[in-house]
Amino acid sequence: MSLRLNEDQTAALQELANIGMGQAGNSIARIWKEFVHLSIPKINMVESTRIPELIHGYVGDTEVSASRQAFHGGFRGEVLVIVTSNDRNGLAHLMGYEGSLDIAEREEVLLDIVNILGGACVGGIAQQVGAEIGFSAPSLIGEHLNPLEVIKPNQLAIETALSLEVRFIVENRSLSAHLVILLPNNEVKALADLLDQFLCTL
């Protein structure tokens, strides 16, 4: 049985994520030297068994690349960043990589992205609820993956996934990245408590 955030906690998390993603958008805009249109972040909590269909719902029938990064401290979990394969090539060029990329360079791009997006989003949320948080080194899940196979729920020791959908759109290119935050049940409770404390200050 997964724990869920209540309506107020979800609304608070959505706004705090929005602030974090605004910072991420600014970081990316500085790297890309282009104006980035940000979408409104959408938050859903789903049971971990539904993660594959959630990711498929985000991207449709297309290949994806994905990377992950664990975080620990005031609340603990893992952030996944999923980008579509074509978008990842676009992102690579925008991040200053020229010509055809070798495997190591492609991996570097995907790790840069999880660092920027995961750090801004989870780090931003933590900062605003007054929690200290640290990040482990990011790692690559893979490239050219079927979206249904990015994560195998039976290999996860978690019950709940907090999905955060946000799109970064750059002028004529439509580049999208999706974040999914994985939280064990007891960490959902820790996050809920921190959000309640934040809500009490309003």
Partner 1 sequence: MTVSVLIVDDSPIARKMLRKALPADWDISIQEAGDGVQAIDIYRQGGVELMFLDLTMPNIDGYGVLEVLQAEGLNCIVIVVSADVQPQARERVLAMGAIAFIPKPVNPEGLQEVLKQYGILV
Positions in the binding site for partner 1 (CB under 8 A): 11-12, 14-16, 18-19, 21-23, 25-26, 29, 35-36, 38-40, 128, 199, 201-202
* Distance in Å, CB of 15 to partner 1, minimum: 4
* Distance in Å, CB of 41 to partner 1, minimum: 9
Instruction: Tell me whether residue 9 or residue 67 sits nearer to partner 1 (CB atom).
Output: 9
Instruction: Tell me whether residue 35 or residue 186 sits nearer to partner 1 (CB atom).
Output: 35
* Distance in Å, CB of 67 to partner 1, minimum: 24
Instruction: Tell me whether residue 55 or residue 192 sits nearer to partner 1 (CB atom).
Output: 192
* Distance in Å, CB of 3 to partner 1, minimum: 20
Report which DSSP code applies to 173: B
User: How many beta carbons lie within 10 A of that of residue 95, not counting itself?
Assistant: 16
| C-alpha distances in Å from residue 13, one per residue of 7, 28, 124, 178 | 10, 22, 10, 16
Which residue is associated with the tokens 């840069």?
Answer: 112
- For β-strands 133-135 and 64-73, DSSP reports them as antiparallel
139 vs 69: CA distance, rounded Å: 6
C-alpha Rg value of the chain to the nearest Å: 16
* Distance in Å, CB of 85 to partner 1, minimum: 27
Instruction: Tell me whether residue 150 or residue 191 sits nearer to partner 1 (CB atom).
Output: 191
- Dihedrals phi, psi of 138, to nearest 5 degrees: -70, 160
22 vs 124: CA distance, rounded Å: 10
Instruction: Tell me whether residue 56 or residue 173 sits nearer to partner 1 (CB atom).
Output: 173
CB 25 within 8 A of CB 41: no
